[in-house]
Structure 1
Amino acid sequence: MALDVVIMAAGKGTRMKSTRPKVLHTVGGRSLLQHVVQTSASVGADRILVITGHGAAQVETSIRESLQLPGLHFVRQEPQLGTGHAVQQAVPALSAAGTTLILNGDVPLIEPETARALVEACAGKRLALLTLALDDPTGYGRIVRRGDAADGDVLGIVEHKDATPEQRRIREIYTGMMAVPTERLKQWLGRLRNDNAQGEYYLTDVVAMAVADGVPVVAAHPRSETEVLGVNSPAQLADLERRYQRQQADRLMEAGVRLADPARFDLRGTLQCGTDVDIDVNCIFEGTVTLGDGVRIGAHCVIKNAHIAAGAVIHPFTHIDGEQQGAKVGEGALVGPFARLRPGADLGAEVHIGNFVEVKNSTLARGAKANHLAYLGDATVGERVNYGAGSITANYDGANKHRTVIEADVHVGSNCVLVAPVTIGAGATIGGGSTIAKHAPAGELTVARAKQVTLPGWKRPQKAPKAG
């Protein structure tokens, strides 16, 4: 039986007070709409139809670029005349039979299990609504049932703006999500009218039509309120972000990760952790990050697209951004505080990268150290190298990048400039303050400094006294 998912994502989101379409605002590093599309794919949808309107081109481009999914299509709603009108635009693309699951692009945290339960409740022959009892149901459509029983037959949904004072006291609300037999949905959509306070075509009117046609109307429920919360303002977006982050923190702690404070943790991608991992406060993880057994992450670190091997310690305020190339930290390595690893940084076991050291597109073999105020770019560094404070590889000639090779057991003194392409032979020592533009032989001391000169009687320039 075919399963089509229709995602309503045409709204402007006026209360967001933003030029960005509402569904492109982010939670956990992904747009609201991206969350919903990925959930739709995970429930086995044959086709995913996203209804766009405000900022349609921007929305469509963003989702196509971030998610290359087969069966993903876009349908435009212009103008926006209500939820029923929105789904009407998708009718030509719906399957002839099967089930249509309708979700909202601004309700990002719906769980795949809940979406599947809604589809199963429909079973291709019932109208299934996702409902929830709220302490404060203001703004939501109310579920009207026969009699006073909470499990009485569903008779319809009344929008908040059209509800009577008595109906507004109903706590069970419609979340905006339903699963419908596709053939029936097409029929009901063709009968919608806009004779209501807003002059719009309400999708919720199909409930009364189902009741009139003798089609059973059933309800399914989410596990928590968080699943069905939508975003209409920056305050709601921030609230949902914290709820999402707490979910991720709880999942990690259940797996054994020790978080110093789960309320001060942000995951904006995927994070895989081994055993006995410790993460201090205010750390941000983006992209794809893996942490091996016994890894310790200090406070205020930002780590993106990186693999950190077992026993490594990332000291506070370190910034690791592997971008597309990735960054690697070897077993038992020590990084930071205040260090920066850029794309292509590949640190071997027991490497030390200290404060204010930047590494980019460079490999450092076991035991190499750059402990202070240094730059290593486009470099190959051998085992046990000691790279002095203030030293840099001058890897760019204004047009092209060149590589520096520093062989095993080299000692580079402080404030040196290694002008690539250049090789420092194994066991060599580079005297502090040297600018090395030629290969330095193995096992020798190489120094390149201007002769020190003292000028007797030299006086510093003095400012001329001010007139008057």
Structure 2
Amino acid sequence: MSLSIVIMAAGKGTRMKSTRPKVLHTLAGRPMLSHVIGTTATLGAARQIVITGHGAEQVESAMQAAFASAPLHFVRQEPQLGTGHAVQQAVPVLPDDGVTLILNGDTPLIEAATAAALVQACAGEHLALLTIRLDDPTGYGRIVRDGWGEKVLAIVEHKDATDEQRTINEVYTGMMAAPTRLLKGWLSRLTNDNAQGEYYLTDVVAMARADGVPVVAAQPRDEVEVLGVNSPAQLADLERRYQRVQAERLMTDGVRLADPARFDLRGTLRCGQDVEIDVNCVFEGHVVLGDGVRIGPNCVVRNAEIRAGAVLHAFTHIDGDTQGATVGEGALIGPFARLRPGAELGPEVHIGNFVEVKNSTLARGAKANHLAYLGDATVGERVNYGAGSITANYDGANKHRTVIGNDVHVGSNCVLIAPITLGDGATIGGGSTIAKDAPAGQLTVARAKQVSLSGWVRPQKTKR
């Protein structure tokens, strides 16, 4: 039985008060729509159809870039005349057999197991609705059942519901699964005879009952799966709910979070034993924390591996981007340090406050404790890199590499003009600008002779 998935993502999202299409607003660092597509990609569907409308080109471009290897079909709903009208646009690309699963692009936390259960409830012969009971069902379509509470009779939209119907707390989530052949017939019979003059997808319930097709319901594991987003406040609420789930999962695995309410995961985070994470830390992309790693407050870590026993002090910023970044065992980083793509730090390396490292390797025990820049550099073991020193790696057109041997001492306020090599055990005198290779084991100094002028008078301000 083939499966087709239709994701409705055409809405403008007026209450978001934004020029950005609603489904492209981010949750946990990713557009809401990409969460849904990423989940449905695991269901083995024969086709995934995304219905776009408002900001269609922007939405389609973003999803094609994010899911280049997953064939997506896009159809447009222009103008937007209701949920039924939206799904009607997908009819030409739907097959005549199998099951069609309909999901919402602004309900980002639907789980694959719930979607699969909805398809299973359909079983190729039922109309299956995803429903849930909410303490506050305002705005949702109500599920009207028979007197015994067993059979689903209808879905009544909130705007069209009577006062009595609005007391019902079982609601329709906007997601359903139906036999494709039957669904196409029901869609062709939709009318807009309602208060809003729109074509409601929910009207297919009455059609199914009229045709003798059983209407069944399935429920999600948790309310968070079916919460949609229509405003910045709802998006912020869903973000915190999502982050709380991630925090609880990590704590169950033994991670110590100083405050789970002040933790953000916007990707994947894999932790060893005895990991400690202080408040206001953000993890993006793919991050690995080894055994005994300690993360201080207000750190941001993206696409990086922090190995066992390393410590990131407060306000450290690590961005590995596509190249990645690595912090070795027992290294001490920060506070206020910045590691950029290609930073590879060996064991027991020290990177102190206001030090930036980019596309550079530092071997065991190397230290750059404050106010320094290392770009496109290969740094040996036990190097001491002085405050205020930089590698001048860019000549205005090309990048060049600096090679610093083992046991080198670079004094404060030095400029190393690449390409250049400092031999093992070399010492660079403070304040030097080095443009030629420095021999191993020798002191190299390059600075002007100090001169003192007697009788010199400091200029005075002219009175006017």
- Give distance in 2, aligned partners of 1:453 and 1:283: 51
- Give distance in 1, aligned partners of 2:123 and 2:458: 91
Q: Secondary structure at the match of 1:58?
A: helix
Cα displacement (A) at 1:71: 3.3
- Give distance in 2, aligned partners of 1:187 and 1:410: 79
Q: Which residue of 2 aligns with 1:83?
A: 83
Cα deviation digits, residues 52-95 of structure 1 (max 9, x gap): 00000000000010112433111111111110111011011112
Q: Secondary structure at the match of 1:373?
A: strand
Q: Secondary structure at the match of 1:275?
A: coil
**Aligned residue identity for 1:34:** S
Q: Which residue of 2 aligns with 1:278?
A: 276
Matched, 1:254 2:252: yes
Matched, 1:121 2:145: no
Identify which of 326, 335, 342 aligns with 2:333.
335
Q: Which residue of 2 aligns with 1:191?
A: 189
Q: Is the 8 A contact 1:325 1:344 kept in 2?
A: yes
Cα deviation digits, residues 383-407 of structure 1 (max 9, x gap): 1101111111111111111111100
Task: Give the alignment of 1:66-465 within 5 angstroms.
Answer: 66-147=66-147, 149=148, 151-465=149-463
TM-score by length of 2: 0.99
- Give distance in 2, aligned partners of 1:113 and 1:320: 35
**Aligned residue identity for 2:101:** L
What do you get for the CA RMSD once the two structures are aligned?
A: 0.9
Range with greater deviation from structure 2 (223-232 or 54-63): 223-232
- Give distance in 1, aligned partners of 2:407 and 2:454: 42
Q: Which residue of 2 aligns with 1:23?
A: 23
Q: Is the 8 A contact 1:388 1:414 kept in 2?
A: yes
TM-score by length of 1: 0.98
- Give distance in 2, aligned partners of 1:406 and 1:22: 51
Q: Which residue of 2 aligns with 1:61?
A: 61
**Aligned residue identity for 2:337:** A
Cα deviation digits, residues 95-133 of structure 1 (max 9, x gap): 221111100000001111111111111111111101111
Q: Is the 8 A contact 1:46 1:71 kept in 2?
A: no
Q: Secondary structure at the match of 2:92?
A: helix
Cα displacement (A) at 1:465: 1.4
Cα deviation digits, residues 134-193 of structure 1 (max 9, x gap): 11111110101111x4x4211110111111111111111100000111111011111111
Range with greater deviation from structure 2 (305-314 or 51-60): 305-314
- Give distance in 2, aligned partners of 1:161 and 1:258: 47
Cα displacement (A) at 1:217: 0.6
Q: Secondary structure at the match of 2:201?
A: coil
**Aligned residue identity for 1:60:** E
- Give distance in 1, aligned partners of 2:190 and 2:151: 22
- Give distance in 2, aligned partners of 1:188 and 1:460: 92
Q: Percent identity?
A: 78
Inter-CA distance 460–271: structure 2 relative to 1 (3 Å threshold): same
- Give distance in 2, aligned partners of 1:202 and 1:271: 41
Q: Secondary structure at the match of 1:208?
A: helix
- Give distance in 1, aligned partners of 2:67 and 2:186: 32
Cα displacement (A) at 1:46: 1.7
**Aligned residue identity for 2:20:** R
Q: Secondary structure at the match of 1:343?
A: coil
- Give distance in 2, aligned partners of 1:43 and 1:462: 80
- Give distance in 2, aligned partners of 1:152 and 1:316: 57
Q: Is the 8 A contact 1:143 1:158 kept in 2?
A: yes
Cα displacement (A) at 1:270: 1.1
**Aligned residue identity for 1:46:** A
Inter-CA distance 69–100: structure 2 relative to 1 (3 Å threshold): farther
Cα deviation digits, residues 317-376 of structure 1 (max 9, x gap): 000011111111111111111000011111011111011100011110111110111110
Q: Which residue of 2 aligns with 1:3?
A: 3
Q: Secondary structure at the match of 2:37?
A: helix
- Give distance in 2, aligned partners of 1:34 and 1:74: 14
Range with greater deviation from structure 2 (441-450 or 68-77): 68-77
**Aligned residue identity for 1:295:** V
Cα displacement (A) at 1:43: 2.0
Cα displacement (A) at 1:269: 1.0
Structure 1 segments, 4+ long, off by >3 Å, are none
- Give distance in 2, aligned partners of 1:321 and 1:118: 40
Cα deviation digits, residues 197-243 of structure 1 (max 9, x gap): 11111000000111111111111111221111111111001101101
- Give distance in 2, aligned partners of 1:116 and 1:107: 16
Range with greater deviation from structure 2 (62-71 or 410-419): 62-71
Cα displacement (A) at 1:287: 1.1
Q: Secondary structure at the match of 1:349?
A: coil
- Give distance in 1, aligned partners of 2:318 and 2:96: 51
Range with greater deviation from structure 2 (38-47 or 183-192): 38-47
Q: Secondary structure at the match of 1:6?
A: strand
- Give distance in 1, aligned partners of 2:153 and 2:177: 16
- Give distance in 1, aligned partners of 2:450 and 2:202: 87
- Give distance in 2, aligned partners of 1:61 and 1:362: 35
Cα displacement (A) at 1:254: 1.4
Cα displacement (A) at 1:275: 1.4
